[in-house]
Amino acid sequence: MKTRLIYLGSRGGGAEIFRELRFASKELENIHEFEFIRSDGLRLSDNDFPISNSDQVLPGLRTILMKPWRFLIFLVKFSELTKKNKNEKNIFLMPSPLDYFVFKILKIRKQECYFLIHDASPHPGEFWPRNRSINWRLKQADGLIFLSNFVFQAVKKRLNTKNYKIITHPPFSSFTGRPSETYSNFNFSSNLPIMLFVGRIRKYKGIEILAQYKTQIQDKFQLVIAGEGTLPEGLQGVKTINHWLTETEIRDLMFSADILIFPYTEASQSGVIPSAIALRKRLIVADVGGLTEQIKNYSKALTFNPDEPETLLTTLERSLHALKEDVTLEKSDNQNDQATFSEFLRQILQVSRNHSM
């Protein structure tokens, strides 16, 4: 039995999930065979284990758009990879426009296909994935993996399979490992506690709320906004780091922060929250989507209603007081119960073996 993990993107959360599962597979390699399919846009880092015969690299979407003739190489190479053995499972870790062609080849080979579903619908301002592409995966899959009950509940009437599993998003080890020696040298000029927003800057991430209450926030915290994207107006005087962040930068910023804020106006789940919990950081989280689900047993998190953004002001006061009092984590806190990516991979394999959940 072979399980093929497929990631055809180049960076972001999908790339981190691919790396984590590739690393986690080492614990199971004596009892299970894996193959890893990635695009040429994803570069393995020095921290990844060496490339082996289990690693296969295909032309990515960017390469194909620049050199369209390489699409033929993509099809031929993947067809060659999959023709030897029909007894294989295929897990798509993040949606790609190339999935359709991979899926068709796999179905010709009579192989099973499983999709990791991150979102029930496109986020505002996001071009991909489209509603149509999400629905296609929900209807065509032999099995599905969801990262939150929120997403599952939103799509369950659209499913064509009863073979699914909801698996909590584990923390990324690249965000929670030991920081570099320079992690505190971000030129933070204030002696106030550091409040960090970290991640891609998109409309649904709620940065406008932070701009609206910038003065009230900066009376109590040094606000730091870090990530790639278009910053809204009104952030003069706020420390911003406006580029695509490396995993090392994210890790070091999280270690530097006293509190992380997630002011999203909508969300399925966050890949940063599990890592922040593992680091025992204090959190302010918008009460939307699957975010509340992720922090439900974590006493160091406070919420506010983004539809009534003035509720953030009370939450700021409570968070500052909690920092000063140094509230001890309760036994119910779930940072000790968080799944690792090794457990995540084991649960994925269970989905691919069972046809009734």
Write down the domain spans for the chain.
2-170+339-353, 174-336
Residue 302 — pLDDT band, cuts 50, 70, 90?
Answer: very high
| pTM for this prediction | 0.89
Asked if the domains at 2-170+339-353 and 174-336 fall in one CATH topology, the answer is yes
pLDDT value of position 130: 87
70-81 helix and 99-108 helix, angle to the nearest 10 degrees: 40
Q: How far apart are CA 283 and CA 281, in angstroms?
A: 6
Q: How far apart are CA 60 and CA 220, in angstroms?
A: 46
- 2-170+339-353 has which fold? Rossmann fold (3.40.50)
Condensed to tens digits (0 to 9), the pLDDT of residues 115-126 reads 999 998 887 777
- 174-336 has which fold? Rossmann fold (3.40.50)
Condensed to tens digits (0 to 9), the pLDDT of residues 16-48 reads 999 999 999 989 888 889 999 999 999 877 667
